[in-house]
Amino acid sequence: MLNAIIALISGILFGTGMIVSNMVDPTKVINFLDITGHWDPSLAVVIIGALAVFTPCYHLFIKQRRHAINGKEFNWTKNTKVDGKLLLGATIFGIGWGLVGICPGPSISSIGNGSISTYLFIASMLCGMAIANLNINIFNKKCSS
């Protein structure tokens, strides 16, 4: 139950922040990416603001603990290498983001706006994730046999 409450509070904070900062507007995102045209630095301000709040909290409260607030042990990744799989995934993500200016987090925050484009984007994103997982599982099985 505590996990659900923490997830609910985190989601409300994230979604509210995305809406209030207007980062759910694809035009804002596209203009941020358009550094040679109508560049809009407001996304950078949101990122810097988020880091200004998160960084001290991380170092003062999170990093020193072995367990998250919900009691689960932190599971820090040991894989920090930059490989072809990471670069391919980042490229595919960047193409999808650049084509429409919608990032996955803000798209979820945009569900309430009633836009068919948002619903189609989220459905397509979920399909893409399922296809990618299926292909990764097939690839891993072939490599292990």
Provide the β-strand partners of residue 73. Answer: 67
Cα torsion through 33, 18, 20, 122, rounded to 10: 90
Name the pTM for this structure. Answer: 0.64
CA–centroid distance for 8 within its chain: 17
The pLDDT of residue 80: 87
Spatial contact of 102 and 118, defined as CB atoms under 8 Å apart: yes
User: In the predicted model, what is the mean pLDDT of residues 36-51?
Assistant: 91
Provide the β-strand partners of residue 67. Answer: 73
The pLDDT of residue 55: 95
**pLDDT at residue 66 above 90?**
no
